[in-house]
Amino acid sequence: MGNVTSGVAAKFAFFPPDPPTYDVRQDEDGRLAMRGITPDMNMNVHLLDTKGGNKIVANFWRHPMARFTLLYSHGNAADLGQMHELFVELRAHLRVNIMSYDYSGYGGSSGKPSELNTYYDIEAVYNCLKKEYGMKQEDLIVYGQSVGSGPTLHLASRLQRLRGVVLHSAILSGLRVLYPVKMTLWFDIFKNIDKIRRVNCPVLVMHGTNDEVVDWYHGKRLWELSKEKYEPLWVKGGGHCNLETYPDYIKHLRRFINEMERIPVAKPEKELDSKPSLTDESTKHIGCLRLKKKVPGSKKEVDRDSETG
């Protein structure tokens, strides 16, 4: 059984940039800084301990007029150094704080990348937001790009008062990117198709219609399964790695952020504690998802009738 799981993980591989595009140093005043990234007085660098025993790098980008904070989980083949320019643009255009982080084994974060570690990573980042910045769920929007949709939906499915979720070129599950399976199998990874049903806040889905890495159907199905659907953005002609180059990308995001300011939040149910435990049964500069195997064909080979997996 373990061999099957590791086989799926091997095909659905992680690709951290090698070498990393930055490193972390401590300045004379004791503050952490990132060598390789232009200094920003409104950016704080953190080294966070995870339940997996790793130390991960996280950056908090502050906007003086921000109402919300965007917790951004990036794509597979990127680290924070490569995402720097995008975060600067998003902070300026959306007027939000941004909390970004590198998964275990990416950039200046220690350890090895794995599905389980990405869950530990985002939990550590969320706990930092609560402890260091007094962040409330009601003021948090979680954003997952490509593989980052896995940890994003892991967290969103467990927090009941989030303001919103953004899924950018997201996946239904790891196995579904590789093969046209008709049900969720126990050894699958990043089972987003199941977790999206437990998200109780508005969900914005953005996907390119010409995505050759993660078929557009993944985004469409995630949107269909969302409880609180926000108007999706289907970028005509968009691929897997270039949605942010289309004008509609930032316009649609800005509209979503503005509308989130006007809606009430969900009633509280269960709060994630300060040291969360996993509840899964198993468990321009945009980094793209890369796979070791490419599925022949596209839309017609993905199961259209899958409701539970």
Map out the domains of the chain as residue ranges.
Answer: 2-301
Q: What is the pLDDT of residues 229-248, one digit of tens each?
A: 999 999 999 999 999 999 99
Single-letter residue type at 14: F
Largest CA distance in the chain: 59
pTM, full prediction: 0.85
Q: Which residues are catalytic?
A: 146, 211, 240
CB atoms within 10 A of CB 246: 17
CA angle 108, 158, 163 (to 5 degrees): 85
User: What homologous superfamily is domain 2-301 in, according to CATH?
Assistant: Alpha/Beta hydrolase fold, catalytic domain (3.40.50.1820)
- Give pLDDT < 50 ranges for the chain: 1-2, 5-6, 10, 269, 271, 273-286, 292-309
> 206-221 in b/e burial notation, b at 16+ Cβ within 10 A?
bbbeebebbbbbbbbb
CA dist 252 and 271 (Å) reads 30
CA dist 44 and 22 (Å) reads 15
Burial of 31 (0-12, 13-18, 19+ CB in 10 A): exposed
Tell me which residue of 82, 78, 104, 107 sits closest to 169, measured CA to CA.
Answer: 78
Burial of 67 (0-12, 13-18, 19+ CB in 10 A): middle
Q: What is the pLDDT of residues 256-278, one digit of tens each?
A: 999 999 887 655 545 454 444 44
> Any alpha helices (H) in 149-283, and if so which ranges?
149-156, 174-178, 192-195, 216-225, 247-260
